[in-house]
Chains A and B, each alone.
Chain A
Amino acid sequence: MHLVVQAVILGLLTGGVYALMASGLTLAFGVMRVINVAQGALIILSAYLTYTLFVHAGLDPFVALLVITPGMFVLGMLLQFVFIRPLRSEDREELSLLVTWAIALGIEGVLSVVFKTTYRSVNTGYTNATWDVGGYTITQVRFYGFLLSVAILGLLFLALTRTRIGRAIRAVVQNPVSARLLGIETERVAAVGFGLSAATASAAGAVYAMVYPFNPNSHYDLISLLLTIIVLGGLGSLGGAILAALFMGVAEAVLAATISPTWAKLTFFVALLTLLLIRPQGLFGVKARGAI
C-alpha cells in the first residue's frame, strides 16, 4: 500500500508536467487545426537551452525561464508564419502533421550537431534533495516542477478568459468562420496562439532537463506520450488534456512500481486503444463530422 501511495504522489507530480506539455499541443490544435509533432522537439530544445545557460552562465533553470520563454514564444510565431500559414486550410490538419514532423527532424538534427548525441542532464544543488512527508518521499525538483506547471496553466487560463486576445483565441477555437466574420484577424490570433503553445514548451523543457537525462532523440519519447494524452482527452479540449495527463501520470507510476518500469511505458497505448474501442472521440471530445 505504501508503495502504491508513493507511486500516486510521484504520478501526480509527473502528471502535472505532462499536463503543461499537453496544453501547448491542445492550444495549437484548437486555434489552427495543427497537430504540432514538433512540440516534443521544442521541449527538448528548451531543455538544451536550459542546460547551456546553466552550465555556461550558471543560471538556475527556474531563472533561465525568464529568458527562454520569450525566445520560444518568438520562435513559435516564426514557425507558424513560415511553415504553417502557407498550408492550404482544407488539408492543413494532415499536412501540418508532416510539416511539423519535418521541423522536429530539423531541430533534432541541429541539436545532434551542436550537442552530440550523448545524454545530458542538469544537476542543480537541489536535484537530489527530497522531503519526507509522513513517511513518503517527495523529490523537491519534481515538486517545484509541478508548482511551476500549475502556475503556468493558471496564467494560461487567465490569459484565455480575461484578456482581449485570449477571448479572440477562444472565439477562433470555437468557430473560425464566424470569428473572421466578426472582424477577428484569425491568422494573427493563430500566430499568437502558436507562440503561446511554444512558450509552454520552455517551462516543460526546464523541468524535463532537471528530472530526466535527455538527448536530441528524446523528443520521440515525449511526442508519443503527448499525442496519446491529447487524443485521450479529446482533441482541442484543454480540460480533457489536463485530466488525461494527470490520469496517465498516475497510471504509469503505479504500474511501474507494481509491475515493471519497461512494461509501464505501454500503459499509454493500452489506455488509448481501449478508449478507441469505447469512445473514439476521446474523453471530452465533441463528435463532429470530419473531426474525429
Chain B
Amino acid sequence: MIGVLAAFPFLFSAHWLVNIGVFTLMYAVLATAWNLIGGYAGYISLGHVAFFGGGAYAIAVTTTHHYAAHGYEPFYVLPLVGAAVALGSLPLGWLAFRTRTATFAIVTLTLLFVFQQLAFNLRSLTGGSSGLLLPLPLFPVATYERPFYYALLGLLTCGLAISWWVRGSKLGLTLFAVRDDEDRARGLGMRVTYAKLAAFALSAGFFAMAGGVWAFYIGSVYPQFAIDPLVTIGAVLMVYLGGKATLWGPVLGAVLLVPAQQYLAYRLGASQLYLVGYAAVFLVVMLLLPRGILPSLAEKIRRRRGRADPGRPPAQVERPAKELVRS
C-alpha cells in the first residue's frame, strides 16, 4: 500500500494529480490522527484544527525569520513543532477532559475559535488578518510537489504505525475501555486520564506536523484558512465514512473523499455550492452508514461465513441504562 503511494508521483506526474495526492495524504494523516482520540477513545474533538493552525503558524513564523535559501529546513523542524504542540496541548486537553460527550465536543470547538481569534489578534506574531507569506523554496518546478508529498507520506506511515501499535498496546485497551464505559474502566483502576491525554497529545502533534507541511506547501497562512472548521469536519467525516476506530478506515475515507472534494471545489469553487455537496455527503454517511464502510463490510463477511462476532463486544447494545440514570 505504502509502496503504491510512494510510486504515485512517478507514475502520474501531472501537477494537478500530484496536488490532489498531497491533499489526500494530508487528510489521511489528519483522519488517522483524529481517529486516535475520536475513534479509539470515543471523544469527539471538534477543535483539533486549532493544533493544525498552531503547526502552520509555527512553521510560517520560523521560516520567515530564519530561513536558509536551500529549501528543506522546514521539514527538519517539523518533528520539533509536532513535539512542542503535543506538549502544549496537554494542559488544554486536561481542561477539556473535565467534561464528556457533547460538552467535550463543544469545549474543543470553542478552542478552535479561541485559536482563530488569537491568530487575528496577535498581529506582531501572526500578521493578523493580513497573514504571513512564506519564502518560496527553490524546488525544481517539474517535481515541485514531490518533497511535500513524501513528507506527508512519511507522516502517514508514522501515524499508521502508531495507530497500529496503540491498538495492541495497553494504551489502546484502556482507550477502548474508556469508549465503552469510562466509569467502569476508572473503577477497575485503569489509568484513564493518562490514556486520554496521551491519545490527545499524539493526535495534536500529528495535526501540527500536517499543518506545518500545509503552510509550507500553500506558501501563505491566514487565520481563516489555517484554522478552518471545515478541516476538522473533513477529517471527522473521513473517519466516519471509512470506519471509526479501525486502522485503515480513516485512510480509506480520505482516499474516497478528498479527490471528490478537490474536484468539486475546483469545478464549483467560486460559487460555494461545494458546501452543499459536502453537507449532502455528510448527511448520507451519517444517516445510512453510521458505522462506516470497513465495519459494515466486516460484518457482512462475518455473517456470510456464519460466525459469531468474536472481536467486538456488543457494547452498543448494553447502553440503555444510561438514559435511566440521567433523569
Q: How far is the CB of A194 from chain B (nearest CB, A)?
A: 16
A162 to B117, CA, bound (A): 43
Interface string of A127-140 (1 = CB under 8 A from B): 00000000000000
- Minimum CB–CB distance from B253 to chain A (whole Å) comes to 13
B105 touches A177 (CB 8 A): no
Chain B residues contacting A90 (CB-CB under 8 Å) are 316, 319-320, 322
Is A248 interfacial (CB-CB < 8 Å)? no
User: Does B103 contact A292, Cβ atoms closer than 8 Å?
Assistant: yes
CA distance A291 to B287 in the complex (A): 24
**A289 vs chain B, min Cβ distance (A):** 5
The answer to whether A86 touches B287 (Cβ under 8 A) is yes
> Known: A90-B319, A105-B233. Contact between A276 and B282, CB under 8 A?
no
Q: Is B325 touching A227 in the complex (CB atoms < 8 A)?
A: no
- Residues in A with CB closer than 8 Å to B113 are 220, 224, 269
A94 touching B290 in the complex, CB below 8 Å, given contacts A35-B105, A35-B106 = no
A106 to B106, CA, bound (A): 20
Q: Which of B101, B121, B325 has the most CB of A within 10 A?
A: B101
Cross-chain contact A273 with B102 (CB below 8 angstroms): no
Residues on A with C-beta less than 8 A from B279 are 102-103, 105-106, 109
CA distance A265 to B121 in the complex (A): 10
Complex CA gap A292/B106 in Å reads 11
Are B99 and A101 in contact, with the CB atoms below 8 A? Answer: no
Judged by a CB distance under 8 angstroms, whether A99 is at the interface is yes
Interface set, chain A 1-54, CB cutoff 8 A to B: 29, 33, 35
A residues within 8 A CB of B274?
A: 109
- Binding site of B, secondary structure by majority: helix, strand, loop or mixed? helix
Which chain A residues numbered 77 to 125 have a C-beta less than 8 Å away from chain B?
83, 86-91, 93-95, 97-99, 101-103, 105-106, 108-110, 112-113, 117
Contacts of B287 in A (CB 8 A): 83, 86-87, 99
**Any chain A CB within 8 A of the CB of B326?**
yes
A101 x B319 contact (CB < 8 A) = no
Report Cα–Cα, A109/B229, bound state, in Å: 14
A273 touching B326 in the complex, CB below 8 Å, given contacts A35-B106, A109-B273: no
CB-based nearest B residue for A97: B105
Pair A113/B273 contact, Cβ less than 8 Å = yes
A117:B272 contact, CB within 8 angstroms: yes
Q: Which residues of A contact B118 (CB under 8 A)?
A: 266
A153 at the interface (CB under 8 A from B): no
- The 8 A CB mask of A244-258 against B (1 = contact, 0 = none) is 000000000000000
The answer to whether B286 and A272 have CB atoms under 8 Å apart is no
Query: A277 interface residue, CB < 8 Å from B?
Result: yes
**A163 CB within 8 Å of chain B:** no
* Residues of chain A lying within 8 A (CB to CB) of residue B107: 231, 272, 276
Which of chain B's residues have a CB closer than 8 A to the CB of A89? 323
Decide if A265 touches B99 in the complex (CB within 8 Å).
Answer: no
User: Nearest Cβ distance between residue A277 and chain B, in whole angstroms?
Assistant: 7
The answer, yes or no, to whether B98 is at the interface (CB within 8 Å) is: yes
| Contact partners of B117 in chain A: CB under 8 A | 262, 265-266, 269
Q: Roughly how many angstroms separate A102 CA and B324 CA in the complex, as a whole number?
A: 30
Q: How far is the CB of A224 from chain B (nearest CB, A)?
A: 4
**Given A224-B110, A276-B98, A288-B325 in contact, is the A109-B276 Cβ separation under 8 Å?**
yes
* Complexed CA–CA distance, A113 and B316 (Å): 40
Contact A288 B326 (CB under 8 A): yes
Determine whether B170 belongs to the interface, using a CB cutoff of 8 Å to chain A.
no
Q: Known contacts A97-B44, A177-B324, A220-B229: does B110 contact A112 (CB below 8 Å)? A: no
Extra pairs beyond A105-B230, A228-B110 (17, CB < 8 Å): A35-B106, A88-B316, A90-B320, A91-B316, A98-B240, A99-B286, A101-B282, A106-B275, A108-B275, A109-B275, A109-B278, A113-B276, A228-B106, A266-B114, A266-B118, A290-B322, A291-B326
Pull 28 A–B residue pairs with CB atoms less than 8 Å apart, ordered by A.
A29-B102, A35-B106, A83-B287, A86-B287, A87-B290, A88-B290, A90-B316, A93-B102, A94-B42, A99-B282, A99-B286, A101-B233, A106-B276, A106-B279, A106-B283, A110-B276, A113-B276, A227-B109, A231-B106, A266-B114, A266-B121, A268-B110, A269-B113, A272-B110, A273-B95, A276-B107, A289-B326, A291-B101
- Footprint of A on B, CB under 8 Å? 42, 44, 46, 95-96, 98-103, 105-107, 109-111, 113-114, 117-118, 120-121, 183, 229-230, 233, 236-237, 240, 271-280, 282-283, 286-287, 290, 316, 319-320, 322-327
Interface residues in chain A, defined as those with a beta carbon under 8 Å from any beta carbon in chain B: 29, 33, 35, 83, 86-91, 93-95, 97-99, 101-103, 105-106, 108-110, 112-113, 117, 174-178, 216, 220, 224, 227-228, 230-231, 235, 262-263, 265-266, 268-269, 272-273, 276-277, 280, 288-292
